[in-house]
Chains A and B, each alone.
Chain A
Amino acid sequence: MSGTGSGGAARPDPSPMLLDCRDIHMDFSGLRALGGVDFSAAEGEIVALVGPNGSGKSTLVNVMSGAMRPTSGRIRFGGVDITGRKPHAISRLGIARTYQIPRPFGTMTVLGNVAFAASFSADALPQREAEQRAWECLDFTKLAGVAHQLPGAINLQQRKFLELARALAARPRLLMLDEVLTGLNPAEIEDSLDLIRRIHDSGVTLIIVEHLMRVITQLASRLVVLDRGKLLAQGDPGDVMGREDVITAYLGREYA
């Protein structure tokens, strides 16, 4: 169950970072998706990961969650080398994620989906207790009213919240949100931002991949911009957004 080739003894990590990616390369048969990216998140941060389509954001999330094995580079989480470990092992260390397009288990109820995550987390709760925790997570995400529905019967925002509830059921230390606001209307975005803040207040470190720059700059404590598989800029959201190269990469040359 522990990862293959991680070579990772749990040596104490000198860096204070919760998650630390070093020199990540990712090639897909000739196509370079990531070309040497350094990326990190400190405990308690909200890091926004932004960049135009195809800049490598989702690939980086997939690499950090273990869904993809990087071509080269090292990933450490809480001081432990997790490079090449399987996703289920990484999730049990305390990393959770959501998907751009919600991917609930279609044959399980909303409650069943969340209870599943609680019972397969590192806590390995027995079914009754997993359901108990699932109810708490559904209260937190305001989904208790649809607990016994199948995911196909609830709306997009509720499905996005279900992704969050399911991720929270594992009590993660780090949560990666992949375009959680995309496709929502302004009122729903407000709701979601409120929920994301409450998740952060409960002590979870967040990495948010997002297209909606204006929204994300209100939320993030640090902005990281990727462009064509490379790190373009990072720092305080206000400063980074003012940089000419960032505007060019994002909006095209004529706006610069």
Chain B
Amino acid sequence: MTARSASAFLLVGIALFLVPNLREWMGFPVYILVFLYSTFYWITQATSWNILSGYSGYFSFGQSAFVGTGLYATAIFSAQYRLNFFLAVLLAGLITTLLALAVGFVAFRLRSLRGEIFTLLTFVVAFVLAAIAQLSSFVDGGQGRVLTPPRYPAFFGSYNDLIFRMGAIAAVIAVGAAYAIQHSKLGRGLFAIRDDEDVAEALGTPTFRYKMIAFAISGFLAGAAGGMNSLQVSYLTTDTTFNFIVPLFVILMSTLGGRNHWLGPVIGAVLIYSLQERLAGAGFADSSQIILGAVLALTILVVPEGLYVRLRAIWRLALAVFVIALAAQQVLGVFDSILTRFFVALVVVLPFVVVPPRRLAGLGWFAPRAVPPRPRPNPAPRANGRLDREAAR
């Protein structure tokens, strides 16, 4: 990560941290903070998944193993041992890092555990951990666990301000990590592993080490964010924490947004979480899963490479449509909730993203544009290697 991009992430983090201070001045209600917290939470989880599974192609179905372990570990450290909450969250992250390393040590050594067998193995890990938590009275014992709100420093503000700020910090760290990895040698190695692992290894990539590092980072982010989510949960059960909805959601989010890019899971998480939340808010909680599933299946069929690639090409058009849609709702006075308006604007943009780019070719400045490749640098004078001499002929 360059100093410039690092400071950009830092600035975004500081800006988000200050949002609760500006809330009353900006005039939006408290529930927006809670909504945004959950969006940040899912951004963090989807990004965590994408760092291993999106970048390297090792599809994990065990995200809930990290989430559940992180939650229970935080609960035990924080509620039972009266440890500082922030420390408890970090420790939970360390425990899930070790869990990832243990699973990876077994799974990444054997060529026979590639592909769907890896997916199955990670699923089984979540399943087994849930069963252990269920049986162990130290962890849960089938009784569930009551959580009490932790103590925290006053500068975090009200409780809602706290969870918003924690969520924002987690999301900025996770997305910043995904960005840094994508632009590093580690990221290039992971992409090569996804394309052809044997060739990557034969060209000098230490594939085992790279997969372990990616899984460890993914495990830390998922576990720590899971632990952080105990702020929003008052009663833990193994059913709700080690729930298969978690891996399903993060896979769908990353796939919808695009697994090849750090922004993909962010886009997917915003879309899917707000869709689900708005449907529930409109009283379709029961049928929301069906609508969600249908929308996703369609989008993924039409744009299998993920929305990010399309959005990058038409971002001018998408932004213009989004702003117009928001303004139109304001002028017409429809949908008084900010969230609903935001969501409606997103839905209005979606068709432009999904439509084949060539149909938008006539839109001039708003037409889809490809990112031009970096041009060839001017050959600098250099010592004559054997290949150089050949090239000069």
Contact = CB atoms under 8 A, between A and B. Distances in A.
Given A106-B195, A140-B391, A88 B188 contact: no
Interface stretch (B59-67, B70-78, B204-212, B315-323): B204-212
Interface string A115-146: 01101111000001001100111011000100
Contacts of B35: none
Contacts of A140: 387, 390-391
A137 B387 contact: yes
Contacts of A131: 374, 377
A91 B199 CA distance: 11
A74 interface: no
Contacts of B379: 132, 135
B239 interface: no
A67 interface: yes
Contacts of B391: 136, 139-140
Nearest to A65: B202
Chain B, interface residues (CB within 8 Å), range? 20 to 34
Contact of B185 (A97, A119, A122, A144): A119
Interface in B159-213: 185, 188-189, 191-192, 194-196, 198-209
Contact of B199 (A1, A105, A119, A147): A105
Most chain A CB inside 10 Å of its own CB: which residue of B203, B374, B390: B203
Contacts of B207: 88
Contacts of B189: 120
Contacts of A121: 203-204
A230 interface: no
A170 interface: yes
A119 B373 contact: no
Nearest to B201: A87
Nearest to A133: B387
Most chain B CB inside 10 Å of its own CB: which residue of A128, A136, A147: A136
Given A1-B209, A148-B373, A166 B203 contact: yes
A185 interface: no
Given A105-B200, A108-B191, 7 more contacts: A91-B202, A96-B203, A103-B196, A103-B199, A105-B195, A132-B377, A202-B390
Interface of A: 1, 65-67, 86-88, 91-92, 96-97, 99, 103, 105-109, 111, 116-117, 119-122, 128, 131-132, 135-137, 139-140, 144, 147-148, 166, 168, 170-171, 198, 202-203
Nearest 9 CB-CB pairs, A to B? Answer: A120-B204, A105-B195, A202-B386, A139-B391, A148-B373, A87-B201, A91-B204, A87-B202, A117-B203
28 contacts: A1-B209, A66-B202, A67-B198, A87-B202, A88-B202, A88-B205, A88-B207, A99-B199, A103-B196, A105-B192, A105-B196, A106-B195, A107-B195, A108-B192, A111-B373, A116-B203, A119-B188, A120-B185, A132-B377, A132-B380, A135-B377, A135-B379, A140-B391, A147-B376, A148-B373, A166-B203, A170-B203, A171-B387
